Chains A and B, each alone.
Chain A
């Protein structure tokens, strides 16, 4: 069924908010009930921020507001007036990937990559406050971010690796992270002819 005639658009009264996003000042007009998640994705076209529930349950939509991780699905766009918002798009610079991004890429800590932006930003806030977090502190900081692919193991290792790099240490990934324990690398095989 399709309605052929012209129809009136719904009446909207837009809110007008000025904020800083990834270091750039932006002004944006949006329906006042919109969440920060919606403003970022729909009005600012920053789709790097993902959503998994839009109910504050999974941590997927985490971004930084004034340096602190917030669930953007529970945070009104209206609350952002004058604030500074950081999203995953702002992490990589002209010099390339942020150390956290590079560590996640190198270790396979991003499998499907859907939870990754929220986890990267939450980890970034952790490392800003604590340059040398223990494993338990990493687990605590990321306990609100669900990941269904990795079992978190590579994520913990990537945060540790990135933290070392950010402290200026020349740390390499552990052998067992890359190969498993006792991996026998001698049995490399010839190309199978099909």
Chain B
């Protein structure tokens, strides 16, 4: 049977908020203004690592215009995004851990007065030796940056083995071992973080903030301020770019709430660009050692993947992150036996956290470059070799990830055809080359950040007798179009114009919980919740319309703003009239929908990271043009194909792909969170400014040819999968592989700067290994691996040598308590 046509889903509508955005009417957090509003500034640490001997803010309080000050002891309760790493304070209590750590805050009648008063705050530091690198963190277990963590300055150490890795290596025809390093980079959203706190005379607190995760900010505020969560309201303002950088609860959000409670006046803060660099939570610098055994046809027999991550000064999402550097290697090409060792260290630098790709771009880069080396060594075409060993759709990987739809083969075909891969690779003029890389990404994490059995996403729908429909959902639009997705899917189910729908989102008082805009979860999870709510509303309308139309319910259709008999479309009524009938029959019409991901298959500790309702797939071919005399190169063209399952809106999907390519190119070519070397111990940010943190401008951006592949996944709304993060992943390895095709050198380190290309070319001409990259992997005390039999070995997902867990690897613990 031919599937019925959709009328909204799959069509390139403008976003529902597009007109406001182009008219400059969208209210971002710093655009908010209230009567009697005070302005806040934060004093930040000049020391990378020190005990705070004295913090005296009384001088600031005497400055003109200053109304209140706050220091660490005012807010002594710790917080953090993960229940296992509640290691941050709104203002440092007795210790500072990086240059930029918040120490004290001032609220004044204007921004200038607040800023000037910071000078009057006295801070005495007792310096502690700073730790600036992975090697230093390993070499110097004392003093510990935190008094928790697996040992010394290791925050986390994990090891797990699925199947018989050594046996797999023994079966291999060839073994390859490579080292890779992926430098840290930051999100650089153009909107600086801003927040307003308003503690009203009714004893209720409202915080507006440019956050991607209002639900988690809600929890953190309640905890740190010791206020019942029911009296705290968090409204996420539209984010002026997020990319993961606004996913943690931040000190400034808590500080303005506190200062508002102290003063009884609204208090606003807008961070400076320099402070945004200190908030960071960007890509973890990651060193990797990858050992892979392959047959002569490129089939992988076993892989041992080791990572060590420079986490910076706080936990953030770091524990999840450590696991993510080992989780998704298995969902692209078949890996029958797999071992992963991961470590995260604390250093005295701005904390790392989730940046677009969330711990997977680093291992994906390493894996895809190594596969390119293997294909070249075996004399195989890298595209054909990958295609020959794809993970089958609807299968379970060695580490118990359930793959659903899997369109990677189609993606590879699209980009090799479009780029002329077969005819042009290796045959371009000197200095020019093509590189291929592929990737996959989750469509939402299988488990919530804090253990609970509730839905991860909820939607409420209000149908009004005017015919208007309002969608309420906690999701947060960070520019990706999540508000629009809600309108499109509800419009599709109810047969109305998406622009007749009002969307109310990201307000913890008004909207049901959605966990937030991270892990590419929003379209799939809110989409499913919205479809469910809309289907329930549709049932009510059909139940009242059917007798009125004199037809059985199965013959009632909803489309084009009408409710009608599908066999006699003239027999029908306007949508608004159907709502009136339904309201007369049932009372006020409101429905709810919610979504919880299917339980994951793994029952080992750590199995919570990696499972997802669905996986997106991407393949890219990158073309480079290298000047061998300088190492300077350009990327004139990128061909990219993305399996999005199903486009809810193709123009927005293409836009996400293009934006991901751009951000991937920035990381691949130039962006780095760099620190000053020398006496300061590599802990002072080199250039916390938009000018010196180099990112691609209009003139560096490549021409992008985007190919969308639809391999619908049964778990996605209308079959849809994610697109916001996955298409970034193939770009860095694609660039590195293209450099090799162009000039025959390997740059095993991101970013691939001209200096590194030139160094590798010089090594090549000197007869040395034609490579630039790490040469040393430190001794790391990874624990004895937890051993899990693979599904092929008949494993049940439980570890052989440790206690089984709840599905998804959670150890059931008492839920984190939040004051009520």
Contacts and interface: CB of A to CB of B under 8 A. Distances in A.
Interface of A: 1-3, 7-11, 31, 41, 45, 47-55, 57-58, 60, 87-89, 91-92, 97, 100-102, 104-108, 110-117, 120, 138-140, 142-156, 176-185, 187-194
Contacts of A185: 10
B758 to A, nearest CB: 26
A8 B12 CA distance: 57
Interface string B562-597: 000000000000000000000000000000010100
A178 B705 CA distance: 12
Interface of B: 3-6, 9-10, 12, 14-15, 17-28, 30-31, 33, 57-58, 61-62, 64-71, 74, 109-110, 112-113, 187-192, 238-243, 262-263, 272-273, 414, 418, 478-481, 492-493, 528, 531-532, 535, 593, 595, 646-647, 650-655, 657-663, 689-691, 695, 697-699, 701, 704-708, 710, 712, 714, 716-719
Contact of B191 (A87, A114, A142): A114
B57 A188 contact: no
Nearest to A158: B22
Given A2-B263, A8-B64, A114-B241, 18 more contacts: A3-B61, A10-B110, A49-B24, A97-B22, A101-B19, A114-B28, A146-B690, A151-B658, A153-B662, A154-B658, A176-B706, A178-B12, A179-B650, A180-B707, A181-B705, A181-B706, A189-B6, A192-B531
Contacts of A9: 64-65, 109
B718 A57 contact: no
15 contacts: A11-B64, A53-B273, A55-B691, A108-B652, A111-B659, A112-B21, A116-B24, A138-B698, A140-B698, A146-B690, A148-B190, A148-B243, A149-B659, A181-B705, A190-B3
B654 A87 contact: no
A45 to B, nearest CB: 7
B357 to A, nearest CB: 15
B241 A148 contact: yes
Nearest to B477: A112
A87 B710 CA distance: 41
B14 A105 contact: yes
Contact of A112 (B62, B71, B239, B698): B239
Contacts of A7: 64-67
Contact of B493 (A146, A153, A191): A191
A50 B62 CA distance: 33
Contacts of B718: 189, 191-192
A29 to B, nearest CB: 15
Contacts of B9: 188
A148 B64 contact: no
A57 B689 contact: yes
A194 B189 contact: no
A105 B22 contact: yes
Given A112-B239, A192-B531, A152 B662 contact: yes
Contact of A57 (B17, B23, B71, B691): B691
A148 B189 contact: yes
Contacts of A88: 22-24
B417 to A, nearest CB: 9
Contacts of A144: 697
Nearest to A8: B64
Nearest to B62: A3
B710 A184 contact: yes
A178 B12 CA distance: 6
Contacts of A192: 531, 714, 716-719
A151 B18 contact: no
Given A1-B69, A45-B33, A47-B31, A97 B697 contact: no
B21 A142 contact: no
A93 to B, nearest CB: 11
A105 B15 contact: yes
Nearest to B712: A189
B699 A143 contact: yes
